[in-house]
Amino acid sequence: MEIEKKDIRSLTKQQLRDFFVANGDKAFRGNQVYEWLWSKASHSFEDMTNVSKETRTMLENNFVINHIKVDTMQRSEDGTVKNAVRLHDNLIVESVLIPTETRTTACVSSQVGCSLDCNFCATARLKRMRNLEPGEIYDQVVAIDRESRLYYNRPLSNIVFMGMGEPLMNYNNVMKAIDMITSDEGLGMSPKRITVSTSGVSKMIKKMADDEVKFKLAVSLHSAIEETRNHIMPFTKNFQLPELREALEYWYRKTKSKVTYEYVVWKGINDDKASIDALVKFCKYVPCKVNLIEYNPIDDGEFQQASDEAIDNYIKALGKNDIVAKVRRSRGKDIDAACGQLANKS
């Protein structure tokens, strides 16, 4: 019976060094292989030309590299690129490259499907199949970086964890992936250029603060009125606003890092004065800015983009209270690559 081979990228550098020593080789060989696996992002033992053929065969007999494969790539008329990537078990997740004049941002997934149930989001309808492994998150970034160099002649500059899934419900793997992305042994990117977005898992926000992470935090708020938020994001009944507020205050005390609130304004849901007042009040708890995201319809009627006037009212009220607010236009809508549209349609 063939035993299932272990994913070699689940080993730490030290474990890999130990493996070589246990097999009568030098610990240093572990460093070489580690470099191939991470900084060179190699997906095949055959590539590892500075180790002997016998060693490569030995690795092949003991391990697999569970890497992703870009299955289809679509390009939007606005330059946005969407990758549907196939995982080793044939599941698919999506990631997006968003170019602007000054930067290229990778929007990556953290789960296959999503643990949550936001009524306005297409990913929520997929249900969560499994968490992504650190290597699978890392590979999405590498794939986008290569596309960025190929199509835009520049490396990737920013990463947002705003693809499929709730990153804080796959905390350990997301942290390991970010460690490799920011490490000199991986991609060496600055954590300041990474944003993790959560729909508000308070306990894990506090844990991140305790772990002294150096990346940025975004929270999908959408309403600062409990009843409304519970209605559009039903799971928030277990993650209520007072707890969220407390977690964010804790986060800011520990990290001194501003929070970004993501906020969509919908007709008849949160386009009234009470909603605006509640948001302004919420924004005073910790230093923050607000991204007013354009709604990307995912089908039927319940959710509709609010009027320009309603958005203006938000901007005026926030501005009057010295809260920075920006309107974020959608990118990649024509290829279903915009916020909330990632649903493995193709």
**Residues involved in catalysis:** 94, 339
Cα angle, residue 285 at apex, residues 246 and 278 outer, rounded to 5°: 105
DSSP single-letter state for residue 133: P
**Among residues 85, 106, 108, 293, the one that binds ligand SAH under rule CB under 6 A:** 293
Residue range at the interface with ligand SAH (CB under 6 A); choices 24-32, 70-78, 115-123, 244-252: 115-123
Residues of this chain, 144-173, that bind ligand SAH according to CB under 6 A: 162, 166
C-beta closer to ligand SAH: residue 135 or 340 = 340
For residue 55, give Cα distances in angstroms to 8, 25, 100, 201, 302: 14, 9, 44, 45, 59
**Does residue 41 touch ligand SAH according to CB under 6 A?**
no
Residues of this chain, 178-197, that bind ligand SAH according to CB under 6 A: 197
- Encoded amino acid at 254, one letter: K
Cα angle, residue 263 at apex, residues 258 and 268 outer, rounded to 5°: 150
Structure tokens at 248: 């964010």
Tell me how far, at minimum, the Cβ of 141 lies from ligand SAH, in Å: 16
C-beta closer to ligand SAH: residue 152 or 235 = 235
**Does residue 198 touch ligand SAH according to CB under 6 A?**
yes
Tell me how far, at minimum, the Cβ of 116 lies from ligand SAH, in Å: 6
Residues of this chain, 225-264, that bind ligand SAH according to CB under 6 A: 262, 264
DSSP single-letter state for residue 89: T
Residue indicated by tokens 């000054």 = 102
Residue range at the interface with ligand SAH (CB under 6 A); choices 62-70, 114-122, 134-142, 209-217: 114-122
**Among residues 295, 313, 314, 333, the one that binds ligand SAH under rule CB under 6 A:** 295
**Among residues 20, 38, 45, 120, the one that binds ligand SAH under rule CB under 6 A:** 120
Nearest to 269 by CA among 228, 240, 301, 319: 228
**Among residues 83, 173, 296, 313, the one that binds ligand SAH under rule CB under 6 A:** 296
For residue 42, give Cα distances in angstroms to 5, 94, 177: 18, 21, 16
Tell me how far, at minimum, the Cβ of 42 lies from ligand SAH, in Å: 29
Residues of this chain, 53-92, that bind ligand SAH according to CB under 6 A: none
- Is 164:109 a contact under the CB 8 Å cutoff? yes
Rounded Cα–Cα distance for residues 47 and 33 (Å):
10
Structure tokens at 86: 């196939």
Residue range at the interface with ligand SAH (CB under 6 A); choices 10-18, 113-121, 146-154, 308-316: 113-121
C-beta closer to ligand SAH: residue 313 or 341 = 341
Residue indicated by tokens 């993650």 = 239
Tell me how far, at minimum, the Cβ of 57 lies from ligand SAH, in Å: 42
DSSP codes joined into one string, 5-29: PEEGGGS-HHHHHHHHHHTTS-HHH
Give the residues lining the site for ligand SAH (CB under 6 A): 118, 120-121, 162, 166, 197-199, 220, 262, 264, 293, 295-296, 298, 339-340
